């Protein structure tokens, strides 16, 4: 049920065409624009619905879904609905209606509100929700809503109106059979036997290209056959019962009914054929149990008391064995063994026992409870039981890990106490402020060089060394006597110093620009260092307060978990009791039926012994 609903929800949200019944008239899926919404959909596609709903709620709280707010609200409501949170889902959908939603979104919301009310048995609310759906273009959705509306009308006793509504509904080919069978049932309930029979007759006689439709036809034929049996029309009833497939789910009921159709006409010999076939079936269905009484009854009606006695004794032994097994099954249900095995058969929180263990092998009472275990009420309750168990285990794990968070805080506190003195010592050095002072000194030096206009103020260290070296050489040469050799050296030294000065002067403006550019670039880093210095100081002062805050939050979470666990356990105990009641009621009904069958068999056995004795006495000379 949950997977079908969520697939339908995903189809509705994204406008995906396919086998699902699309609620949006869009030809292409919407483009996901928010990263967090895409992550939620990823978990949704993986059928990890618990992670999807938690991440979706977290993203909503953090306002991380600006482009998909409406779709996120609808998805959240659908997920809540799939987890049985009907009140929360209804509030969620009603909240969407309070906003300025477009028509398609409003139609989808009203559709889910109708489904919520219908599932909860609030038929008037469901009908009112359906009436608010307007201008639908999708024929499949119109057909689905018509079937839901007709079922609501039939639940309210408006059978004739339900039949009329279905008759006026246009539907695509794959939905017409569903409309016909529901219309036929509505007509029968309204008292129009002939027209309802005609519709179901055409449905039962046609060909079907799917297992679901074949099962529908079998059910229609079976229903018509038993209705005619009640009316005393055995020959007509057998016509419909013979249409039921021998390999279908209604085969045993059809064989039993076919036998009673023959018996109703007095043809007990022919009735034995389907009834004896039922005795060969290793089944625990009521039709097989009833056949154990019907076979000796037919032999008795044929006057064959010996065979009647044989089959009555066989029936009593069969009923005794069945009653013992049912007693054992009741004990297994009362002890909780059945529920434990059912939950062990589960393949995951989103799976179902029917997928994991379809034969119910190893589950006591399983063969008696197929109809109950596959019913909507049991499956929904079992789903809630598993979900509550999952949440209980999850909270217990979180409770056990709370101490880890305390350890993490203690570790951080120890690291703080160890490193804080060293960090405070570094902060007291005011290194960032010193960097700012050095930068300002460089800026002042550059401004002084610009104001002086002296190129030598921007000479490199090497150039300054060369300049001082040449100046010293010239001073020493000036002290030497004048002659041709010394004069040539003096001229060469003056020429070299002039070349050096010319080079420095030529690069003066470029150097001014480069230094100014580098200082501007460094200024940002220096200011950032000062800001970080301030942030480190503030963070260091606030770390201890942060430890106390974490401790309070962790303790609040622990108390919240401790408060939730008893409520979850109580709710799980309630669902467990409900599941046991459903199973025990069915087993008790079967036990009472077996007691009744056994009493009838013993009474009939005694009567046949009496008849056989009378015949024996009458035949004696």
Contacts of 307 (CB under 8 A, 6+ apart): 296, 299
pLDDT the model gives residue 298: 92
pLDDT the model gives residue 313: 92
Query: Which of 93, 594, 561, 576 is closest to 325 using CA atoms?
Result: 594
Residue in the block written with tokens 């405070």? 424
> What's the pLDDT tens digit per position in 189-201?
787 877 877 887 7
Q: Which long-range contacts (CB under 8 A, 24 or more apart) does 449-455 make?
A: 449/512, 450/512, 455/501, 455/504, 455/505, 455/507, 455/508
In a domain, 409, yes or no: no
Among the three residues 135, 163, 192, which one is the final residue of a domain in this structure? 135
The domain of 576 spans: 431-584
In a domain, 206, yes or no: no
pLDDT the model gives residue 207: 63
pTM: 0.63
pLDDT the model gives residue 27: 38
Among the three residues 88, 116, 135, which one is the final residue of a domain in this structure? 135
In a domain, 609, yes or no: no
In a domain, 79, yes or no: yes
d(CA 605, CA 300): 10
Burial of residue 496 (number of CB atoms within 10 Å: 0-12, 13-18, 19+): middle
d(CA 91, CA 274): 55
pLDDT the model gives residue 441: 85
d(CA 84, CA 6): 12
Q: How many domains does the chain have?
A: 2
Among the three residues 96, 119, 135, which one is the final residue of a domain in this structure? 135
pLDDT the model gives residue 351: 38
> What's the pLDDT tens digit per position in 295-342?
999 999 998 888 999 999 999 999 998 888 888 888 888 888 777 777
Q: Encoding tokens for residue 184?
A: 């036929």
Encode 142-157 in three state secondary structure. Answer: HHHHHHHHHHHHHHCC
- 3-state class (DSSP) for residue 296: helix
- 3-state class (DSSP) for residue 283: coil
The neighbour count for residue 450, using CB atoms within 10 Å, is 15
pLDDT the model gives residue 599: 92
Helix (H) or strand (E) holding 483: none
pLDDT beneath 70: ranges in the chain: 1-30, 84, 98-101, 203-209, 282-283, 344-366, 376, 544-548, 619-621
In a domain, 337, yes or no: no
d(CA 427, CA 435): 13
In a domain, 285, yes or no: no
Q: Encoding tokens for residue 400?
A: 């056990």
pLDDT the model gives residue 357: 40
**Do 584 and 338 meet the contact criterion of CB atoms below 8 Å apart?**
no
The CATH number of whichever domain residue 114 belongs to comes to 1.25.40.10
In a domain, 247, yes or no: no
> What's the pLDDT tens digit per position in 275-302?
999 888 766 788 888 999 999 999 999 9
In a domain, 563, yes or no: yes
Query: Which of 541, 533, 543, 542 is closest to 428 using CA atoms?
Result: 533
**Do 369 and 582 meet the contact criterion of CB atoms below 8 Å apart?**
no
């Amino acid at each position: 049920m949950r997977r079908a609903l969520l697939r339908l929800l995903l189809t509705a949200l994204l406008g995906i065409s396919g086998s699902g019944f699309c609620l949006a008239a869009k030809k292409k899926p919407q483009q996901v624009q928010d990263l967090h919404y895409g992550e939620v959909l990823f978990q949704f596609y993986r059928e990890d619905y618990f992670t999807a709903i938690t991440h979706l709620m977290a993203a909503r709280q953090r306002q991380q879904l600006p482009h998909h707010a409406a779709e996120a609200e609808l998805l959240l409501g659908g997920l809540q609905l799939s987890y049985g949170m009907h009140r929360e889902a209804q509030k969620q959908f009603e909240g969407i209606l309070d906003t300025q939603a477009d028509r398609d979104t409003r139609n989808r919301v009203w559709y889910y509100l109708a489904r919520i009310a219908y599932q909860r048995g609030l038929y008037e609310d469901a009908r009112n929700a359906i009436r608010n759906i307007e201008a639908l273009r999708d024929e499949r959705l119109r057909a689905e809503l018509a079937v839901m509306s007709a079922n609501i009308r039939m639940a309210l006793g408006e059978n004739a109106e339900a039949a009329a509504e279905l008759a006026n509904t246009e539907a695509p080919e794959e939905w017409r059979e569903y409309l016909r069978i529901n219309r036929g049932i509505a007509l029968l309930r309204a008292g129009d036997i002939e027209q309802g029979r005609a519709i179901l007759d055409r449905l039962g006689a046609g060909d079907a290209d799917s297992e679901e439709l074949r099962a529908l036809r079998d059910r229609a034929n079976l229903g018509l056959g038993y209705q005619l049996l009640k009316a005393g029309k055995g020959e007509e009833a057998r016509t419909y019962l013979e249409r039921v497939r021998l390999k279908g789910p209604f085969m045993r009921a059809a064989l039993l009914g076919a036998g009673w159709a023959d018996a109703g006409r007095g043809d007990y010999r022919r009735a034995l054929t389907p009834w004896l076939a039922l005795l060969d079936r290793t089944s625990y269905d009521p039709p097989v149990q009833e056949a154990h009484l019907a076979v000796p009854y037919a032999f008795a009606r044929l006057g064959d008391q010996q065979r009647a006695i044989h089959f009555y004794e066989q029936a009593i032994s069969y009923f005794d064995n069945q009653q013992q097994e049912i007693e054992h099954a009741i004990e297994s249900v009362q002890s909780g063994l059945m529920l434990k095995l059912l939950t062990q058969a589960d393949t995951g929180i989103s799976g179902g026992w029917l997928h994991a263990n379809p034969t119910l092998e190893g589950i006591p009472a399983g063969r008696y409870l197929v109809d109950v275990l596959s019913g909507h009420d049991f499956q929904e309750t079992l789903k809630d039981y598993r979900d509550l168990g999952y949440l209980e285990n999850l909270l217990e794990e979180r409770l056990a890990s709370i101490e880890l968070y305390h350890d993490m805080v203690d570790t951080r506190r120890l690291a703080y106490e160890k490193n804080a003195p060293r960090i405070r010592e570094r902060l007291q050095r005011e290194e960032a402020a010193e960097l700012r002072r050095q930068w300002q000194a460089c800026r002042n030096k550059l401004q002084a060089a610009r104001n002086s206009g002296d190129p030598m103020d921007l000479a490199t260290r090497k150039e300054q060394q060369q300049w001082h070296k040449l100046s010293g050489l010239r001073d020493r040469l000036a002290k030497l006597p004048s002659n041709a050799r010394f004069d040539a050296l003096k001229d060469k030294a003056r020429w070299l110093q002039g070349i050096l000065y010319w080079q420095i002067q030529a690069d003066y403006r470029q150097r001014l620009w480069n230094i100014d550019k580098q200082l501007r670039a460094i200024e940002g880093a220096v200011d950032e260092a000062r800001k970080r210095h301030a942030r480190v100081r503030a963070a260091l002062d606030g770390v201890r307060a942060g430890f106390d805050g974490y401790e309070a939050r962790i303790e609040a979470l622990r108390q919240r978990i401790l408060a939730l666990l008893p409520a979850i356990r109580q709710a799980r105990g309630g669902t467990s009791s409900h599941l046991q009641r459903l199973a025990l009621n069915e087993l008790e009904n079967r036990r009472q039926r077996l007691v009744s069958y056994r009493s009838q068999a013993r009474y009939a056995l005694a009567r046949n012994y009496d008849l056989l004795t009378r015949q024996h006495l009458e035949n004696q000379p």
